[in-house]
Structures are given as structure tokens and as C-alpha cells.
């Protein structure tokens, strides 16, 4: 089995300000989004299982596992490790699946050895969080380094074209007694979708900022990192991708 090492959060000594994802994916995130759609999670894992090559899967990494929604389903099929940077989300994951291996680390510095995983999944837009695309390339390089030759990487990402076309500038709702205001915009350079989340009664505000990477952008990054894209889907039912698809789901093989 995969040898796990001591948890190693990414060192940011040269950057005193925390990145948005370090601030946002905490206790408030859990309070607001505690009722995620389990049906979509099941569909995503079913899609993955039905589109794997005819080889045995012995070990899986759920990269950016959050509170373990997908990890728990993956574990029903294969031995799985969940990895995330947020200790708040990992506490929930560990509580709900006692004894399961969860690791706290930054996806830019994976604490695993070569040939550790036959399958790596990165689901529900847990990618594209960095300002510099070299950091995204670094993630893919790290993933390739811990995978077995011929292993499969699955990235379930937003559809940048659909996001640009259907962006809702403002909405609000009440969740657990908290009024949540969400303001969205495309960044002036057209490279990011930005969401400002205000918790009115708590007087708190968070930022969410994700890179608008098209399937072609992702494919270029994957090829550079030593992968070959073998399948692209537009939804969890396995539909063909188009500019109006809700998702960009890419299957890539490590060369």
C-alpha cells in the first residue's frame, strides 16, 4: 500500500497574506455548504468507474478531497487516500469515515513516493485556484510523479465557456439563519471567475477566485506534464462536451 508521510502544509514564509482558499474553506464554508448534492457525487464516481481502462486499480488519490464526499464513495470501490489543505474540512472527513487515510498537504507538494497511485481524481472544481499558471502546472507535475505508468487522472472542472455565458452577478439566500450574499464577476483580464461571499449577520466576507481554463488549456497543461487526454465529457451522465455543457470532465493517461 501507499506509504504516507507526516503532514506537510505548503511553506509560504515569503507570502505573509493567506491565499483565498486558505481563508474560505473553513468553519463558515462548512456551515453554509453542509448539504451538498450527494446525487452528483454518485454520478461522478459512477462515470469514472465506467470509463477506466481495463486494468486493476489498487490505489486511488482524491486530490482536494474537502470533507470527503467523493472519498467515501471511492472507498467503496478501491483503497483511497483523501488529501486536502483545509484542516476544518479534513476533521469532518475523518469523523465521518473513521480509520480512513486522510492527509493534510498542499497539492503542489504531494507527500507520496513514485508509483503510489493507479488513479488520481480531482473533482468538483478543486483546481485552478492559483494566480500563476506555473503553479497549476506544478500540481500536474506532482500528480504525474506519484502515479503509476499508464495510470489515470480525472479532472472534473467547471466549463469556462458556460460560466462566462451564464454568470449570475448577484444572488442571496438564507442558510442556517445566515444571509449569504454572492456577487460574481469575470476578472478584467478575462482569466478568472471571482465570487465575493458576504455573511451579513456575521459581518464576514470571503473571496473565491478560480481560473477560467478551457479544455484546450487543460489539455496543453496535461500534455506538458506527461499526460495524454483520452476522454472528455460535458456532464456526469457522460454526455459529449460543448460550450453549453455544465462541466469539463477530462480523463488523462500518464505516459
pLDDT digits (tens, 9 = 90+) for 194-229: 999 999 998 999 999 999 999 999 999 999 999 999
Closest by CA to 231, choosing from 214, 215, 243, 217, is 215
Closest by CA to 234, choosing from 217, 218, 215, is 215
> Band of the pLDDT at 14, cuts 50, 70, 90?
very low
Q: What is the percentage of the chain residues whose pLDDT exceeds 90?
A: 83
Q: What is the percentage of the chain residues whose pLDDT exceeds 70?
A: 92
| Separation between Cα atoms, residue 54 and residue 232, nearest integer Å | 18
Closest by CA to 62, choosing from 43, 41, 39, is 41
For residue 78, what pLDDT is reported?
A: 96
> Band of the pLDDT at 35, cuts 50, 70, 90?
low
**Contact criterion met (CB below 8 Å) for 229 and 180:** no
Closest by CA to 64, choosing from 163, 136, 151, is 136
167-202 tens-digit pLDDT: 999 999 998 888 999 999 999 999 999 999 999 998
Q: Residue 189, exposed/middle/buried by CB under 10 A (0-12, 13-18, 19+)? A: exposed
Architecture of domain 20-159+213-254: 3-Layer(aba) Sandwich (3.40)
- pLDDT for 4 beyond 60: no
What's the whole-number average pLDDT of the chain?
Answer: 92
For the chain, give the longest Cα–Cα distance.
53
Amino acid at each position: 500500500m501507499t506509504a504516507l508521510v507526516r503532514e506537510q502544509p505548503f511553506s509560504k514564509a515569503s507570502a505573509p497574506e493567506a491565499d483565498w482558499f486558505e481563508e474560505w474553506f473553513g468553519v463558515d464554508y462548512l456551515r453554509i455548504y453542509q448539504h451538498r448534492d450527494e446525487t452528483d457525487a454518485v454520478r461522478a464516481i459512477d462515470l469514472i468507474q465506467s470509463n477506466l481502462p481495463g486494468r486493476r486499480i489498487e490505489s486511488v488519490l482524491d486530490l482536494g478531497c474537502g470533507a470527503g464526499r467523493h472519498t467515501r464513495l471511492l472507498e467503496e470501490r478501491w483503497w483511497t487516500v483523501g488529501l486536502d489543505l483545509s484542516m476544518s474540512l479534513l476533521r469532518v472527513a475523518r469523523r465521518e469515515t473513521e480509520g480512513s487515510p486522510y492527509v493534510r498537504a498542499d497539492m503542489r507538494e504531494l507527500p507520496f513516493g513514485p508509483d503510489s497511485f493507479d488513479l488520481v481524481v480531482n473533482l468538483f472544481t478543486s483546481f485552478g485556484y492559483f494566480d500563476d499558471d506555473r503553479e497549476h502546472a506544478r500540481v500536474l507535475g506532482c500528480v504525474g510523479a506519484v502515479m503509476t505508468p499508464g495510470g489515470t487522472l480525472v479532472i472534473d472542472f467547471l466549463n469556462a465557456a458556460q460560466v462566462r455565458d451564464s454568470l449570475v452577478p448577484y444572488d442571496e439566500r438564507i442558510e442556517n439563519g445566515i444571509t449569504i450574499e454572492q456577487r460574481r464577476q469575470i476578472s478584467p483580464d478575462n482569466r478568472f471567475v471571482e465570487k465575493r461571499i458576504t455573511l451579513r449577520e456575521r459581518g464576514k466576507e470571503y473571496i473565491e477566485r478560480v481560473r477560467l481554463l478551457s479544455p484546450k488549456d487543460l489539455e496543453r497543461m496535461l500534455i506538458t506534464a506527461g499526460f495524454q487526454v483520452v476522454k472528455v465529457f460535458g456532464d456526469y451522465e457522460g454526455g459529449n462536451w460543448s460550450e453549453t455543457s455544465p462541466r469539463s470532465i477530462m480523463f488523462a493517461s500518464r505516459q
